[in-house]
Structure 1
Amino acid sequence: MIGRSLNADLRKMKGTSVILAHLLIPIITSVIFLIYYFFSPWNENMKVIAFYQAIGAGLPVLIGIFTASVMEQEQNAGDFQNL
């Protein structure tokens, strides 16, 4: 049952940008931080702390955006019939 539900969700998301965003956002974020830290005068501890603070602030925003996107998709697909 869970496998079929996950398969259905993956098929629904196939045409959206959610999967692409899940792949690109971590890569782009890592590249930006690596470039910034290469030129930054901070010590290693401050760099790690700043990275975790940015992740802690950014992840809830991304979770909210992705959750709203999936909920809107469910509403448009059938008014939450399977929930």
Structure 2
Amino acid sequence: MPHPQSQSQIDQRFVHDLFTGPNDAAMVDTIIALSRRLGPAMMAEGLGSPGQRDLLAPGGATPKGSLFAHGPSGGLLAP
């Protein structure tokens, strides 16, 4: 019996080289397409730039990384 998948994750290794590695960009596109088809929530790790966020946000990825780190007060350091 298959186990339901509750979340897809885009690993930080792919996010890091998103703009410089054509294979990484292709892998990210594939993960987004698969996640949309299967319907689970999707998280992108290692976001460190607004450009990475802007590219992944339309795909529905929840950001996780230094760009979205929480400060001592618990508030976001960047939008």
TM-score by length of 2: 0.28
Higher share of residues assigned strand: 2
Of the two, which has the highest radius of gyration?
1
The structure whose residues are more often helix, as a share, is: 1
TM-score by length of 1: 0.27
